[in-house]
Amino acid sequence: MNSVINFVEIENRIVTANYRSLMIGAKVVLVDKSSDQQLSDPITTIASPAPTGTLRIRLPATVKPGDYYLKALNGHGAPVAQTVAFHVS
């Protein structure tokens, strides 16, 4: 099963993304594109039993302007999908 996460938009520091084939317990993290470092906040855990859905992630004030992407991690912490990069102003 191929997991997918797609960036939809960012508006008012809220990132919207669609996902497919992510199971309960999977995590979606924000990654700084320039350093490839995962940020400690925000981290979103998939809680829906449906493997398909939409995420809305509010970015905290600690997220500085720059280019980022979302990375999906399975229940064991291994990367399974990521979005294209997007810019935070």
Mean pLDDT within 6-31: 96
Span 44-85, pLDDT tens digits: 999 999 889 999 999 999 999 999 999 999 989 999 999 999
Rg over CA atoms, the chain = 12
pTM of the model: 0.94
The pLDDT of residue 68 is 98
Write out the two tokens for 68. Answer: 């980022």
DSSP-assigned states of every residue in 24-56: TT-EEEEEETTTTEEEEEEEEE---SSSEEEEE
pLDDT at 1 over 80: no
The dotted CATH code for 4-88 is 2.60.40.2840
The Cα–Cα gap between 32 and 38 comes to: 6
Span 21-51, pLDDT tens digits: 999 999 999 999 999 999 999 999 999 998 8
